[in-house]
């Protein structure tokens, strides 16, 4: 059992839940992903392992895992909700290109000790920082600049 799934199992038991086969599959799918996953992608990967796991079970499990802090969701470009594993309560920041939607994970140290300052100044504890900044990647900015300099005639 992977470290993340083992940690999830321990937290589930501590909070009075069991690590059912469905929960194990969902945690494993999210842990093994090399990218953010939409619900449909999670469902597809889980149902490849066991076609009898329903979409409602997947939604309920995602809700529980998020409530327990084992996964996080993010609204990335396109209005889709994406899920990923939370490992060691690392803060999570994204830089997203407005044109091509390329997403970059930012350095967790970028915001320094902001969570500690929020706790000290506002009495707000166990803060999760999830920054989403949008702009243009180099390639898209170059393309936009070229289009502005050389506009195509309208027919």
Q: Is 91 annotated as a binding residue?
A: yes
Q: Is 89 annotated as a binding residue?
A: no
Q: Is 126 helix (H, G, I), strand (E, B) or coil?
A: coil
DSSP H helices in 15-54: 21-32, 39-49
Torsion angle, alpha carbons of 38, 67, 109, 98, to 10: 30
Q: Is 97 annotated as a binding residue?
A: yes
Three-state secondary structure along 49-92? HCCCCCHHHHHHHHHHHHHCCCEEEEECCCCCEEEEECCCCCCE
Structure tokens at 65: 């895992």
Q: Is 120 annotated as a binding residue?
A: no
Q: Is 105 annotated as a binding residue?
A: no
Rounded (5°) CA angle 139-145-149: 145
Q: Binding site: what residues are annotated? A: 91, 97, 100, 137, 140
Q: List, as residue ranges, the binding site for Zn(2+).
A: 97, 100, 137, 140
Residues placed in the known binding site for Fe cation? 91
């Amino acid at each position: 059992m992977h470290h993340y799934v083992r940690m999830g199992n321990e937290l589930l038991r501590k909070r009075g839940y069991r690590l059912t086969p469905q929960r194990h599959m969902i945690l494993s799918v999210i842990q093994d992903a090399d990218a953010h996953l939409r619900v449909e992608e999670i469902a597809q990967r889980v149902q490849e392992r066991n076609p009898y796991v329903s979409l409602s079970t997947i939604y309920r499990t995602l809700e529980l895992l998020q409530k327990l802090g084992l996964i996080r969701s993010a609204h990335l470009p396109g209005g889709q909700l994406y899920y990923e594993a939370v490992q060691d309560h690392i803060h999570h920041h994204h830089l997203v290109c407005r044109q091509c939607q390329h997403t970059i994970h930012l350095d967790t140290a970028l915001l320094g000790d902001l969570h500690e300052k929020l706790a000290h100044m506002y009495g707000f504890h166990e803060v999760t920082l999830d920054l989403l900044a949008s702009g243009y990647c180099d390639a898209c900015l170059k393309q936009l600049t070229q289009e502005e300099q050389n506009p195509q005639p309208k027919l």
